[in-house]
Chain A
């Protein structure tokens, strides 16, 4: 399959500090590619260099065969990509329709009003079409952001944290729209903090930490390579004397005991589960997950549930 984006040894530095530190990746046409990473990892910086919004310090980036950094090529790239920035905002006093119309006219061979209607319908914005942007809820704003990003029928879509701040229902609606975009043949590049989002949507993931890509591949691939294997977790373990005897500082977090199933024989597992259930504790089996891989790659969670980044 052909590459839509090719990034080689990309470096971006601000006052001598490399916030993107020599990363390389390819995005194949027609797939959903996710950059996953904690705050400050360099996701937005990377994506905005690819979008021709920030100059790069060194390395090379090609989008649809055009060179980022070449003025003429950048103009071609801009015509062929659609973006939704982190914290997207449109013109406050303009309605949904007016905002879509505005953006549609910024592209050469701009879309007709029929296309505008179609986009409004596709993103379920009919009932909001005359509502001013400032009165829209977060979920509708994100949908409008998506609608605007697709108004000129771009080949690649860049979505920077498309579901941050949305409730679970709105998030699922946005996911469905992103899936539909992929189904219509578009390449999608998204950034996210959410493991389940990436697991659900992405064909390929690159995990970023401190300006570097620490792992890449399909979500399942990463999970099994860097994840912790199958595990058993028991909440409230300290209420059972036997379970408490199995605990140490490395396999407990708060009142939860996590046991790696690969290292225990099945008889012992059965016994532990039996005991825990009789004591009325909450027992869970977990398959290797992207979240585990992510945590192992970029840091760990402390007692208060905060992410501590490695190093």
Chain B
């Protein structure tokens, strides 16, 4: 019996090896496994990193007056920005800038918050008065100043300080409850996603120098305007497309590769030849899964290497390799299921194309699911590729815990596909 198990393993491993060799040695095999991923990665990278929109800056001006017109200071700021190297584009006030940055590449948004104009005005007035007061202070302390003059100067200063307090009180009172609080610092908010935006540091530098200029031109005093940078990236510096392209490839490879091999084997009588040996249906299925999983890991390594070398991404961890293998099993199972359900080799090829390609586009491979229409989103969440992309994304660049839920879903799909696939695979002819 022990000998028997051993020989079963030998049979499966030999068949898996043969399937793999047969595929890798074919021109289509080599193309899909090695060249196509390289091409696609390069294409995507070029398409989304082109020089034309490299220094685009989206500006969202929330500082509008009662008539919805931009305030004077915000307009002049935008004018100043436009005269710089930056290519200014506007986005409407009702767009969620965070989402905007998160789900696109190379987009950063500068938000001019409400009250920007008022804060600048208040701050610069305060700064002017402060200068005046400190000048008066200097005078008062001089010994040559006569007492009468000094008294009147002190009372004048007190008046000025009251006036200053009053102004601040007016401004803040109209907006809320606080009185006598110092005027708020005028702020600008730059939203970027450092994981996808390879030029954000340059943009930030340009903006910082503009802000400094603005400060100086207003008055020679620091700290009336500050720019804050908000990085919405939740991931390490990575290629945004790597997980989804990887997942899409393993999916197409699994579905089209497996069903293609089975269809080809049927057409060529090779399947019949294998059926006439003691090889069992289960061994045939396992051998296919082994071959496809190994193929998927080769495919993944090639793509990761390109991403690391050419795009400077970080190396994925071991957990994501496990996710990759589960994904490969899942989609090989789907390929077996299609091949088992249909008899005609042409029908098998047709059906697997008809399933794989729509799935690739519906599962957020090329655009975020969040940006899709609502009912398209519900379709996406019924597709295994969605969970595969999600699990891969989480395991590669976020945390393994986050990957757990999607990975479980993926594994569930894998079990269903493999079970149905082996149930439907007939190990006899008609």
Q: Which residues of A contact B (CB under 8 A)?
A: 14, 48, 51-55, 75, 78-79, 81, 83, 85-94, 98, 101-103, 105-110, 132
**Would you list which residues of chain B between 1 and 23 have a CB under 8 Å from chain A?**
3-4, 7-8, 10-11, 14-15, 18, 21-23
Contact of B11 among A79, A88, A105 (CB under 8 A): A105
Q: In the complex, A132 Cα to B268 Cα: how many Å?
A: 16
B269 interface residue per 8 A CB criterion: yes
Whether the Cβ atoms of B18 and A110 lie closer than 8 Å is no
Whether the Cβ atoms of B430 and A14 lie closer than 8 Å is yes
Contacts A53-B428, A54-B429, A75-B278 given; does A108 touch B7 at CB 8 Å = yes
Contacts A55-B428, A79-B278, A91-B270 given; does A106 touch B26 at CB 8 Å = no
Contacts of B142 in A (CB 8 A): none
Closest A-B pairs by Cβ, 10 of them: A93-B25, A105-B14, A106-B277, A108-B7, A89-B268, A93-B22, A91-B22, A102-B18, A83-B276, A54-B429
Q: In the complex, A105 Cα to B429 Cα: how many Å?
A: 23
Please, what's the 1-or-0 string for B248-281, where 1 marks a CB less than 8 Å from any CB in chain A? 0000000000000000000011101111111100
Contact of A88 among B8, B18, B273, B430 (CB under 8 A): B273
| Minimal beta-carbon separation of B229 from chain A (angstroms) | 55
- Which of chain A's residues has its CB closest to B276's CB? A83
15 A-B pairs with C-beta separation under 8 A: A53-B429, A54-B428, A54-B430, A86-B269, A87-B269, A89-B268, A89-B269, A89-B270, A93-B25, A101-B14, A102-B14, A105-B14, A105-B15, A108-B7, A110-B11
Q: Which residues of B contact A (CB under 8 A)?
A: 3-4, 7-8, 10-11, 14-15, 18, 21-23, 25-26, 268-270, 272-279, 428-430
Q: In the complex, A94 Cα to B277 Cα: how many Å?
A: 19
Contacts of B22 in A (CB 8 A): 91-94
Contacts of A92 in B (CB 8 A): 22, 26
Contact of A110 among B7, B25, B269, B274 (CB under 8 A): B7
Q: In the complex, A160 Cα to B428 Cα: how many Å?
A: 18
Whether the Cβ atoms of B25 and A106 lie closer than 8 Å is no
Whether the Cβ atoms of B18 and A98 lie closer than 8 Å is yes
Whether the Cβ atoms of A53 and B7 lie closer than 8 Å is no
Contacts of B429 in A (CB 8 A): 48, 53-54
B14, B25, B277 — which one has the most chain A CB atoms within 10 A of its CB? B277
| Minimal beta-carbon separation of A47 from chain B (angstroms) | 11
Which secondary structure characterizes the binding site on chain A?
loop
Which secondary structure characterizes the binding site on chain B?
helix
| Minimal beta-carbon separation of B337 from chain A (angstroms) | 23
Whether the Cβ atoms of A78 and B278 lie closer than 8 Å is yes
- Starting from the known contacts A53-B429, A89-B268, A106-B15, 13 additional A-B residue pairs (CB-CB under 8 Å) come to A51-B276, A52-B428, A79-B278, A89-B270, A91-B18, A91-B270, A94-B25, A98-B21, A102-B18, A103-B277, A105-B15, A107-B7, A107-B277
| Minimal beta-carbon separation of B13 from chain A (angstroms) | 8
Q: In the complex, A194 Cα to B50 Cα: how many Å?
A: 69
Contacts of B430 in A (CB 8 A): 14, 54
| Minimal beta-carbon separation of B5 from chain A (angstroms) | 10
Contacts of A83 in B (CB 8 A): 273, 276
Whether the Cβ atoms of A94 and B269 lie closer than 8 Å is no
B3, B18, B276 — which one has the most chain A CB atoms within 10 A of its CB? B276
Contacts of B278 in A (CB 8 A): 75, 78-79, 106-108
Contacts A108-B4, A109-B3, A110-B7 given; does A93 touch B26 at CB 8 Å = yes
Contacts of A105 in B (CB 8 A): 10-11, 14-15
Contact of A78 among B25, B270, B277 (CB under 8 A): B277
Contact of A106 among B4, B14, B270, B428 (CB under 8 A): B14
Contacts of B11 in A (CB 8 A): 105-107, 110
Contacts of A88 in B (CB 8 A): 269, 273
- Which of chain A's residues has its CB closest to B7's CB? A108
Whether the Cβ atoms of B270 and A90 lie closer than 8 Å is yes
Contacts of A54 in B (CB 8 A): 428-430
Contacts of B277 in A (CB 8 A): 78, 103, 106-107
Contacts of B428 in A (CB 8 A): 52-55
Q: In the complex, A64 Cα to B3 Cα: how many Å?
A: 24
A83, A86, A93, A107 — which one has the most chain B CB atoms within 10 A of its CB? A93
| Minimal beta-carbon separation of A32 from chain B (angstroms) | 20
Contacts of B273 in A (CB 8 A): 83, 85, 88-90
Contacts of A85 in B (CB 8 A): 269, 272-273, 276
